[in-house]
Amino acid sequence: MELARKRRLQPGDRLPSVQELASRFSVAAPTMRESLRRLQAVGVLDIRHGSGVYLKRAVHRVVLPNPHPGPLSRRVILDLLDARLLIEPRLARLAAERLTDQESLHLQRTLEQAGEHLRDEDQVLGPLNMAFHREIAHLSSSAVLAQVIDSLVDVYEDEQLVVMQLYGDRERDHQWHLAICEAICVHDAARAEQLMHDHLEGVRDVLAARLAEDSPAADISQQRPPAERPEEDNKSREKRQA
């Protein structure tokens, strides 16, 4: 990965061919292919047959997810949400304290895109929602904790669509994201932290109740809904209008 560092490659960038890499490092092509497969196994590279080898993750990572976690049990999914509940509110606070104007615009654009896909477009909406959470983690400037969130999200990426369906209210979820974004953008760190906590706790509560039901197709309308988007307090309103 030293080559990727020297060339300052970013996720999505293509690496040289196997033959070029083998020649550069003076090894046989089969040896190089095996090395690349190992990097693919830990989620660093993406080998696309007929296309090439692409960088999947930033090379300066301390934390890497298990690339083969297998199907996750209901208990593990709830445990992952518990972990996020412990970490993400703090990251939202840090992001609110450190956000720049340019970063604020980028965060808002992510939610604008998500808002265009609230009507049963989960294959698009899901990644956008998680991109919002990832961005907040990275805006915190806490590199290790941001990587932890990346890894937690990556581990249950496939299950995230199921989580969205079980939660069952894309509009309300989006309203929570808008409230969190607003608090971060006006640098209201305490409110951003509280909103993130309440949002994730609400998702977890509904999901726990839903998963406890015997039938996976049961209606969740009788379950206790997550809290509505909190009313804007005077402090936040004044900051936004300033």
Q: Is it the case that residue 118 has pLDDT exceeding 50? A: yes
Per-residue pLDDT at 226 exceeds 80: no
Residues 179-197: what's their mean pLDDT?
97
C-beta of residue 97 within 8 angstroms of C-beta of residue 187:
yes
List the structure tokens of 221. 């309308």
Q: In the prediction, which pLDDT does 215 show?
A: 46
Q: Do domains 2-55 and 74-241 have the same CATH topology?
A: no
CB-based contact 98:136 (threshold 8 Å):
no
Pairwise CA distance, residues 35 & 41, whole Å: 10
Which pLDDT tens digit goes with each residue over 4-47?
667 777 777 888 888 888 888 888 988 988 888 877 766 677 78
For the chain, helix (H) and strand (E) counts, in that order, are 11, 2
Measured CA to CA, the distance from residue 120 to residue 139 in angstroms comes to 29
Classify domain 74-241 at the CATH topology level: Four Helix Bundle (Hemerythrin (Met), subunit A) (1.20.120)
Between residues 73 and 15, the one the model is more confident about: 15
Has residue 229 got a pLDDT over 70?
A: no
Mean pLDDT, the chain, integer: 79
pLDDT at 51 (0 to 100): 83
Counting residues of the chain whose pLDDT is more than 90, the rounded percentage is: 29
Q: What are phi and psi of 225, to 5 degrees?
A: -75, 160
**pLDDT at residue 224 greater than cutoff 60:** no
Identify the H or E element spanning 54: strand 52-55
Q: Which residue from 191, 195, 94, 194 is spatially nearest to 141, judged by alpha carbons? A: 94
Of 160 and 194, the one with more pLDDT: 194
Residue spans per domain, the chain: 2-55, 74-241
User: Is 2-55 a CATH 1.10.10.60 domain?
Assistant: no
| Cβ-based burial of 24 (10 A; exposed 0-12, middle 13-18, buried ≥19) | exposed
